[in-house]
A and B are shown apart, each in its own frame.
Chain A
Amino acid sequence: MADSIELAQNAAGRMVPTMVNGKPQLPYLGVGKYQPRGRKAAPPIFSAKDYPENGDKRVPDLETALRKCGLRDGMVISNHHHLRDGDAVALMALEAAARIGAKNLMWFPSASFPSQQGAIELMEKGVIHHIEGSMNGPLGDYCTQGKMRGMGVLRSHGGRWQAIQDGEVHIDIAVIAAPTADPFGNADGSHGKSACGSLGFALADSTYADRVIVVTDNLVPFPCIPWQIQGNNVDYVVEVESIGDPTKIVSGTTQITRSPDRQRIAEFVARFLRETGIMRNGFSFQAGAGGIALAFVDYLRRMMKEDGVKARFVRGGSTKFLVQLLQEGLTDYILDGQTFDLDGVKSIASDSRHVATSPFTSYNYHGKGNFAAMVDAVVLGATEVDVNFNANVVTHSDGRLLHGIGGWQNCLASGCSILAVPSFRDRIPVIVDRVTTLTGPGELIDVVATERGIAINPRRQDLLDAVKGSKLPIRPIQDIKAEVEKIGGGTPAKPRLGDRPVAVVKWVDGTVLDSVWQVG
């Protein structure tokens, strides 16, 4: 890393580096202010004459595949995270690269997981130079402590697609874990012993990378049906015993929160949608797989039944709770970005109304629109939100990296963005004067629902009008903040953060929204 890092203040008042990992950066300009120009990036032109006529692209192992792809020092290696904490392929690929003797690689996963902490050793050995992608657990601490040689870059799922298509990140070799594939490289996630549902996060990698390797533990004869990854983009296919631990790829069952406080938040949100009239025939919503979000779906399902309301579509991360809506005829479609549990996997594999999507269709801001903006309401989490509704989802209040951005930033484009959060965690208030790391601008966040009341962004007079006369506890956000600080025995002191940025948070348009500072 350069000895001195030049910082600039962006439109959100945050200090951000002007160079990241040797590339010039544009500080955040405001929502919808940056106008991209130019043409999209593209991989080189290939010829069918250079690939086997019988379509059999198998090679014996990953090491061979990487050698044949021309692995060199400093290259960018990418992986998707549909296998979540059960993934074995990313480390398999990076360790194979290490055996070949590669150095200073940039690892570009769509997200990393605690089980991939082996990447730390590879960074210590110089195999990996730095990671661009979400980091939490041990990898998050490694980055936050300033031990990584390059800067971390955190992007939303849509932002990752944007960065690849805009040429901000050029993937040299994409290594795609595939629960089912054929020898030509067609691949899919809905079948096989390691089935994970959609493979949408790998689509950009498969279309924009110079070289693509598909790794599978369920090789079927051509054709692999359905195929979400097209073999026409794939260079080599590697068969392995196992691409991951199925028990950690999807949970057997996703669990609704059992905390009465969190159930109360979930019920508030469902009632809010009902009472504002957002819940109406033909509406749409998105909720993730967290305990509050699941409980919210369950409450909403009952209210939809009571009122005889049907959704046009719901957005996954799919779980058994969304599948239940589909099966009970309460939605026409599930548009699925990732599949969290066995019911979701079974449904996507067998029900044509349960559709795998990609970050291109659902989230990419540098496209001709995206689905996220067409969703009527989205229910999200956050670690902190300030009195102007700006929110943090990537760092803990002490500044340590905690979560990836996921689709969170992209979802803020929805008609009504709701943060469903407890008002405090371990004595630490969630509503603060200034968030530790700005991840989402307050002008896009409409509602903060806590167990002590619901705060509506004053910019949304329409929502404030819609709940007039409602029994819901609608309160100014400052009120909830003051109450929680009183319970907690005063305003918490601010964490002491370093003055060196160890990672940046990108906005959906590729500009730099905030910095993550070195801690400890």
Chain B
Amino acid sequence: MESTNTAVTIRPAEAGHWGADVRSDLHVAIEPRDSGGLAIALESRVGFCYGDSILAQARQVLETLGVRHAKVSIHDEGALPFAISARIETAAKRAGLAAGQKALPAQLPLPSPSGRDRLRRSRLYLPGTEPKYFINALLHEPDAIILDLEDSVHHAEKDAARILVRNALRAVDFGACERMLRINQLPLGLEDLPEIIPESPDVILIPKVERAEQVAEVDRTISDLKKQHGIDRPIWIMPILESALGIENAFTIATVTPNVCALTIGIEDYTADLGVVKTVEGKESTFARTRLVNAAKAAGVQAIDSVFGDVLDMDGLRRWGENARALGFEGMGCIHPGQIRVIHEAFAPTEVEIDKALAIVAAFEEAQQKGLGVVSLGSKMIDPPVVERAKKLVARAKQMGKA
């Protein structure tokens, strides 16, 4: 990426997408000129009812960015205002204009900060260049949405995604979902942070982490940016381990900063690194997954599983999820909203488990009241770790609305 102090060439540039199959996006072409003010041409499929509003917004955005003379042509496919601003800003910056300027949409009230041990059964991936997927993501009620700047974004669109995702963090209502963001593989990922951190995402996912120092560097950068922008709410870190080396270093990665809230795994890259075929049963990644769970538990952070790639195979997804829970994982990624419900069911404790845990907790409380050192249930003595596990299970079940 170009830095702002190198001399930039002023040139015609464009951003965004248009066409019959494009929804909720727009395409902006900018031709800078020396004089003549702004000439904005608009074609929009919603022009008959939003045309004036789009033109007014475009003018305002360009003025905010300090673009005073340019020919601008907009093809709009029903984009929402946050996307309109983002595409115009991207085009302007690609044209060598508006360096260091931002056209920020009005900010919605921030949701409450996220706890380190929050429920994280499902995180729905949203490609960072597809505004249409952002708008209704909250309706499907994943525990988290994850705005992706990495694999789902083409190399040439990284700048556009950064701006779009930044605007989405300000202006799109994600409801009760935790707002996660996957930055690019380091070092590029470090350049994502200055655009994103000021908007207080809840969790930053770092892909392809292999060494603790990588997480430490991201942690320092986040911390500096938080200070700079006066942010005092937590921004957690979730390293994604996607290689044999990353798995070997899982524990030091999880413990390098208290801001790590969870470890997760990327199985596609991991199996590629091993040179083995990824199967539906996932035997080839069993070691890596159990190793990761163990490291996470040792470090006191959550263990979160990978995604399940076949969006039509709900039975396979359910089996995968149930197996993951049995191994000690607390959640997994989703690449389609249809997977969310199945995942939530797979990661929920069964009624039998909940009943048993409630009975153990009740017996523990009774023993406490009576001042007894030994907890017993029926004819069995209950060991302290069993009580602890039961308490955790009841607490999680309550978060899921199951107990």
Question: Which residues of A line the B interface, CB within 8 A?
Answer: 260-261, 263-264, 397-398, 425-428, 451-452, 487-490, 492-496
State which of B42-50, B86-94, B181-189, B214-222 sits at the interface with chain A: B42-50
Contacts of B139 in A (CB 8 A): 261, 264, 451-452
Q: Which of A260, A264, A427 contacts B46 (CB 8 A)?
A: A427
Report how far A264 CA is from B337 CA in the complex, Å: 10
Chain B, Cβ-Cβ closest to A493: B49
Inter-subunit contact A487/B77 (CB<8 Å): no
Q: Determine which of B23, B53, B338 lies in contact with A490 in the assembled complex, contact meaning CB atoms within 8 Å.
A: B53
Q: Are A264 and B140 in contact (CB under 8 A)?
A: yes
**Could you give 20 example pairs across A and B, Cβ below 8 Å?**
A260-B140, A261-B136, A264-B140, A397-B49, A425-B78, A426-B23, A426-B46, A426-B77, A427-B24, A428-B49, A428-B78, A451-B139, A489-B50, A489-B53, A489-B57, A492-B50, A493-B49, A493-B52, A494-B49, A495-B49
Which of A263, A425, A428, A489 neighbours the largest number of chain B CB atoms within 10 Å of its CB?
A489
Q: Is B397 an interface residue (CB 8 A)?
A: no
Least distance between B259 CB and chain A CB atoms (Å): 33
Report whether A492 and B80 are in contact in the complex, using a CB–CB cutoff of 8 Å.
no
B27 vs chain A, min Cβ distance (A): 15
Interface residues of B in 13-70 (CB under 8 A from A): 23-24, 45-46, 48-53, 57
Q: How far is the CA of A261 from the CA of B23 in the complex (A)?
A: 14
Contacts of A261 in B (CB 8 A): 136, 139
**Smallest Cβ-Cβ distance to B81: which chain A residue:** A489
List chain B residues, Cβ under 8 A from A428: 46, 49-50, 78
CA distance A495 to B57 in the complex (A): 20
* A426-B78, A427-B79, A495-B48 known, 12 other contacts, Cβ within 8 Å: A260-B140, A264-B139, A426-B24, A427-B46, A428-B49, A428-B50, A489-B57, A490-B53, A492-B46, A492-B49, A493-B50, A496-B48
Q: Which residues of B contact A397 (CB under 8 A)?
A: 48-49
In the complex formed, the residue of B with least CB distance to A488 is B80
CB of A477 to closest CB in B, whole Å: 18
Which 7 pairs show the lowest CB-CB distances between chains A and B?
Answer: A426-B78, A492-B49, A260-B337, A489-B81, A427-B78, A398-B48, A495-B48
Question: Measured between C-beta atoms, what is the minimum distance from A325 to chain B in Å?
Answer: 22
B336 & A260 in contact (Cβ 8 Å cutoff): yes
B23 cross-chain contacts in A, Cβ below 8 A: 426
Residue of B nearest to A427 (CB): B78
Whether B212 is near chain A, meaning CB under 8 Å from some CB there, is no
List of A residues within 8 angstroms of B193 by Cβ: none
Cα A489 to Cα B23 with chains together (Å): 16
Q: How far is the CB of B6 from chain A (nearest CB, A)?
A: 36
CA A426 to CA B46, docked complex, whole Å: 7
- Judge whether A427 and B336 touch: CB under 8 Å: no
Report the Cα distance A260→B78, complex, angstroms: 19
> Is B195 part of the binding interface, using a Cβ–Cβ cutoff of 8 Å?
no
> In angstroms, how far is the closest chain A Cβ from the Cβ of B350?
20
B291 to chain A, nearest CB (A): 34
| Most chain B beta carbons < 10 A, residue from A260, A264, A452, A488 | A260
Q: In the complex, how many angstroms separate the beta carbon of B254 from the nearest chain A beta carbon? A: 33
Complex contact B49–A489 (CB within 8 A): no
A72 to chain B, nearest CB (A): 43
Of B49, B77, B79, which is in contact with the most chain A CB atoms at under 10 Å from its CB? B49
Task: Output the nearest chain A residue to B52 by Cβ-Cβ distance.
Answer: A493
What chain A residues lie within 8 Å of B284 (beta carbons)? none
User: Given the complex of chains A and B, what is the CA–CA distance between A263 and B338 in angstroms?
Assistant: 9
Shortest CB-to-CB span from B84 to chain A, Å, is: 9
Instruction: Fill in one digit per residue for B140-158: 1 if any A CB lies within 8 Å of its CB, else 0.
Output: 1000000000000000000
Q: In residues 320-374 of chain B, which contact A (Cβ within 8 Å)?
A: 336-338
B338 touches A260 (CB 8 A): yes
Find chain B residues with CB under 8 A from A490 CB: 53
Contact A427 B50 (CB under 8 A): yes
Rounded to whole angstroms, the CA-CA distance of A398 and B80 in the bound complex is: 18
Q: How far is the CA of A398 from the CA of B139 in the complex (A)?
A: 28
Closest to B173 in A: A487
Instruction: Write the chain B residue with the least CB distance to A473.
Output: B139
Contact of A487 (CB < 8 Å), options: B45, B57, B80, B336: B80
Q: How far is the CA of A493 from the CA of B46 in the complex (A)?
A: 10
CB neighbours of B336 from chain A (8 A): 260
Task: State the CA gap A489–B83 with chains docked (Å).
Answer: 11
- Bound complex: CA of A213 vs CA of B46, how far in Å? 45
CA distance in complex: A261, B336 (Å):
11
Please indicate the chain B residues that have their CB under 8 angstroms from the CB of A493 in the complex: 48-53
The distance from the CB of A260 to the nearest CB of chain B, in whole angstroms, is 4
